[in-house]
Homo-oligomer: A and B are copies of this chain.
């Protein structure tokens, strides 16, 4: 592979030399970086080709190929994204914004399992209205912070309004028109979404019936005589309503917000007691009210799977949330689902082990690379299926992570340490043979940690031992 890529890149370089001498170096970089990257997994040519192409595009977006260290890191660590670097704004007004994470496959095909998922963050000021739209993607939202309400328009054109609070999970079907409000007078509303596009893999669009700010209404794209006929209304009157000057997120009065937080027909909506037909979103499910599935002094883990919230089933999705006490850690563990972690509060770091095949041959046994990164609010990192991962909270802040687990069918979290770890469950003879020492020795080591899933982190442990040593 390396050799072939070298050829192509030299080939490109040749032309660059002839046509754009200035960016010859870029290409060289591209080649080097790519061939390195391409050795980190045994993949198909086509994938590596994609990688290379995307790689080069990377250069250009950054404007002619100047590569700072940040970018190098991006090459080396395709599993990590930063809010301030890797998101673009879909909506941006003085009252709020909707930002979307670049495609997971933009920098690397190592994440091709996530090619058809996107992640979006909504931030809205107090007492604001997010204008109606429908998009060509199914999505599930999670309320990170604040108090909102969402209204979806259903079949036989009825509408359903649900109040949203921190921890709520809600599913909206592709093509369904919805609008939201931030009901709170003082607090911002933060919502994280995972989207499942239905038209183009990894791409989706918003369709706004009302214009606003920098963009027009889709009605305006139809010829006027057609819209006049459809709405049986003269162009003169129509033009007025398609020319409002506000943006897509705007202030609203308390009275408006109140009205938009409930249905006229009180019974329907958020208190959806009866089963909804499959094509209806139903009420939100609150992750925290369910209670933690794992909890100790070092952290808490919350999880909503399709048994808790039926709408997740069709999307094959699990939504989970981990709160790791300062100085503590979670894992190492691995699971079948691909995990998209979003740091919503605190700092810390994660370590993940990735199989690594030397470029010389895909035939050898893998060695394992340590992929790791500092974590702060807005950092997003990916743990692919089966990759062992551990997450550590800093000593001065509790680390809180939202996690979208995709391809989650029959998902199980296997812990590699602490109570109920995988190794401890093996026959003692298997421990003895696998580790090449007395089975009892292995047993003792994998039973030293009495806690479950969440543990004291490295620094905490060292302090304790330090103090123990002192006494």
A412 with B175: in contact, given A226-B392, A425-B159 (CB under 8 Å)? yes
> In the docked arrangement, what's the CA distance between A362 and B91, Å?
11
Least distance between A366 CB and chain B CB atoms (Å): 6
Residues of B within 8 A of A205 (CB): 41-42, 355, 366, 386
Among residues of B, the one whose C-beta sits closest to the C-beta of A450 is: B232
Cα(A49)–Cα(B232), bound, Å: 44
Given the complex, which residues of B lie within 8 Å of A198, measured CB to CB?
113, 336, 385-386, 407
| Size range of the chain A interface in the assembly | 35 or more
Q: Inside 8 A of A110's CB, which chain B residues have their CB?
A: 200
B45 and A49 within 8 A (CB): no
A242 contacts which chain B residues (CB < 8 A)?
435
User: Do A455 and B129 form a contact, CB below 8 Å, given A54-B46, A113-B199, A445-B237?
Assistant: no
Partner of A256, one of B105, B227, B429: B429
CB-CB under 8 A from A4, the residues of chain B are 56-57, 60
Q: Could you tell me if B422 and A209 are in contact, using CB atoms closer than 8 angstroms?
A: yes
Given known contacts A240-B437, A430-B151, A338 and B199 CB-to-CB distance under 8 angstroms: yes
Which of A132, A415, A433, A442 has the most chain B CB within a 10 Å cutoff? A433
CB distance from A127 to the nearest CB of B (A): 11
The one of B250, B278, B421, B426 that contacts A159, using a Cβ cutoff of 8 Å: B426
Residue A83 interfacial (CB < 8 Å): no
Tell me whether A229 and B456 are in contact in the complex, defined as CB-CB below 8 angstroms, given that A260-B429, A433-B131 are known contacts: yes
CB distance from A9 to the nearest CB of B (A): 10
Q: In the bound complex, how far is the Cα of B66 from the Cα of A50, in angstroms?
A: 27
Interface residues of A in 9-51 (CB under 8 A from B): 10-12, 14-16, 18-20, 41-47, 49-50
Question: What 0/1 readout, one digit per residue, does chain A (298-310) give for beta carbons within 8 Å of chain B?
Answer: 0000000000000
- A362 to B99 alpha-carbon distance, docked (Å): 11
Q: How far is the CA of A353 from the CA of B259 in the complex (A)?
A: 32
Bound state CA distance, A200 and B384, in angstroms?
A: 9
- Given A173-B410, A200-B47, A435-B244, A449 and B90 touching (CB < 8 A)? no
Contact A390 B222 (CB under 8 A): yes
Q: List the 9 closest pairs (A to B, CB-CB), nearest first.
A: A244-B436, A215-B365, A221-B368, A221-B353, A230-B417, A210-B434, A88-B363, A205-B355, A136-B386
